[in-house]
Amino acid sequence: MIQITDLEKFYRTEEVQTIALNKLSFGVKEGEFVAIMGPSGCGKSTLLNILGLLDDPDGGSFMFNGQEVAGYNERKRSELRKHNIGFVFQSFNLIDELTVFENVELPLIYTGVKPSERKKKVEEVLEKMQIMHRRNHFPQQLSGGQQQRVAVARAVVNNPKLILADEPTGNLDSTNGNEVMDLLIDLNEAGTTIIMVTHSEHDAKYSHRIIRMLDGQKVTENILA
């Protein structure tokens, strides 16, 4: 599904150039659950942003479903993103002014799904995430765990082929964290590919494969299952 080869990303300030990704290469098959680990500043989040088509690499190749997407413009990336990729962020990133239902509905609006169908899909996914009773609440009225479940619901409502999770349990206590991880496992078992960046060895153990990074490079790769 994903194949990156010699992927490079630099950050420049006036005086210094920092290498965020240094000729990184690996692949992810459809249906896989991959965890990416490494110390702060090793390039995990940069990698996730590029994989999520939020950012552009400075060099190398990025094949997504057999298509070279490195060098795509913003419009094309946005098009590809909204149909194929769901995001789960550490800080949830729900829109405060929208209710639970409306937050989850958002990706469907951007992909042009009809209102009646939207309602069905959102309710389905809220049911699945066991957050239906909170559908009319605003994010601030929910606990952290509940907020992350809404974020997961939002990420999957469009049935994306790929979910990118950036430390999904980072802001949660262990009980809520485990719940979120269980949700991700369920999704993965249902066929969704998941790439998760995490600091937590515990969470990483849920995955099929752990890629460890340092200074923008892959250091080790452990296959768990």
Partner 1 sequence: MIFNYIKIAFRSLLKNKGYSFLNIFGLAIGITCASLIFLWVEDELSFNESFAKQDEVYYVPTNQNYEGEWRTFYSTPGPLAQDMLDEIPGIVKATRSSSEERLFAVGDNSITRRGRYADADFLDIFSLKFIEGNREDAFVNPEAIVLTQEIAEQLFGKDEKALGKVVRVSNKDNYLVTGVIENLPKNVSFPFSWVAPFERYSEGAQWMTEYGSNFSDTFVELSPEANFETVDAQVRALIGKKADFTDDYAFLHSIKDWHLRSKFEGGEIVGGRISYVRLFMIIAFIILLIACINFMNLSTARSEKRANEVGVRKAMGSSRSRLITQFISEALILAFIAAVFSVLLLALLLPQFNLIIEKDLSLGLTNPIHIVVLLGIAIICGVFAGLYPAFYLSSFKPVEVLKGLKVTHGSASFIRKGLVVGQFTISIVFIIFTILVYQQIQFAKNRELGYDKDQLLSMRIDRDFIPKFDLIQQELIRTGSVHNATLCNSKILSSGNNGSGFRWKGGTDTEDVLLSFRNVTQSFFETTGMEIIEGRGFSNNVEADSAYVLVSESLAKMMGDENPIGNIISRGEDNMEIIGVVKDYVYGDMFDSSDPVLFLHYPNYARFMFIKTKDGVPVDQALSDIEAVLKKHNPAYPFEYTFVDEAFNAKFKNEQLVGELSQIFAMLAILISCLGLFGLAAYTAEQRSKEIGVRKVLGASVSGIVKLLSKDFLKLVGISILISIPIAWYAAYNWLQDYAYRIEINWWIFVVAGVLAIVIALATVSFQAVKAAIANPVDSLKTE
Q: Which amino acid is at 34?
A: V
Residue from 1, 63, 98, 214 in contact with partner 1 (CB under 8 A)? 98
94 binds partner 1 (CB under 8 A): yes
Among positions 129-158, residues that touch partner 1 (CB under 8 A) are 154
Residue from 18, 65, 91, 222 in contact with partner 1 (CB under 8 A)? 91
Question: 59: closest CA among 20, 8, 23?
Answer: 8
Which region among 51-59, 123-131, 194-202, 215-223 touches partner 1 (by CB under 8 A)? 51-59
Residue from 3, 5, 61, 78 in contact with partner 1 (CB under 8 A)? 78
Tokens 């009773």, residue? 133
Residue 19 host element (H or E): strand 17-28
Residue 116 is classified by DSSP as: H
d(CA 27, CA 177): 27
Which region among 44-52, 141-149, 179-187, 190-198 touches partner 1 (by CB under 8 A)? 44-52
- Backbone torsions φ then ψ of 152, nearest 5 degrees: -65, -45
One-character DSSP codes across 170-204: TTS-HHHHHHHHHHHHHHHHTT-EEEEE-S-HHHH
107 binds partner 1 (CB under 8 A): yes
Of the two residues 18 and 220, which places its CB atom closer to partner 1 in the complex?
18
224 binds partner 1 (CB under 8 A): no
Percent of the chain that is helix, strand, coil (3-state, to 5): 35, 30, 35
8 binds partner 1 (CB under 8 A): no
Of the two residues 8 and 79, which places its CB atom closer to partner 1 in the complex?
79
Binding site for partner 1 (CB under 8 A): 45, 49, 52, 54-55, 74-75, 78-79, 81-83, 87, 89, 91, 93-98, 102, 106-107, 109-111, 154
